[in-house]
Amino acid sequence: MTRKLLPLASVLLGAILNACAVNGGYVARYGPPPPPRYGVVGVAPGPGFVWTEGFWESRAGNWSWVGGRWVHPPRPRAVWVPGSWSQTHRGWTFRRGYWR
């Protein structure tokens, strides 16, 4: 019986987590994320690279810092829009950064 329930539980958990990741973001049902971390960015690895800021991510009920990094824009004149947290009636919502 347990062998039959495990695949079903995996599918249900995947569906629940996928529903939380709407529009490149998710909702944290507990308090706000910690303050952002700041540090030395350094020099770009080459011409045309853009620094993307780090952000807090919720993993298994704990906050985990995802560090910033240098990336090359996907097209000329693309602008990086950093991710942001906002409070809604459902909890704290995170919208991931994206190229505009």
pLDDT interval class at 3 (50, 70, 90): low
pLDDT for the residue numbered 45? 95
Q: Is the pLDDT confidence value at 62 over 60?
A: yes
Answer whether residue 7 is part of any domain: no
User: How many domains would you assign to the chain?
Assistant: 1
Q: Within a domain: residue 16?
A: no
Sequence letter at residue 58? S
| 72 is a domain residue | yes
In a domain, 68, yes or no: yes
Q: Taking residues 59-78, report their average pLDDT.
A: 91
- Domain for residue 18, yes or no? no
| Residue 1: inside a domain | no
Residue 30 belongs to a domain: yes
User: Is residue 60 in some structural domain?
Assistant: yes
Name the residue range of residue 64's domain.
Answer: 24-99
Specify whether the CB–CB gap between 64 and 47 falls below 8 A.
Answer: no
Which residue in 66, 68, 55, 63 sits closest to 28, CA to CA? 63
Residue 65: is its pLDDT beyond 50?
Answer: yes
pLDDT, the chain, mean: 78
Mean pLDDT over residues 39-45, rounded? Answer: 90
Question: Model's pTM, two decimal places?
Answer: 0.63
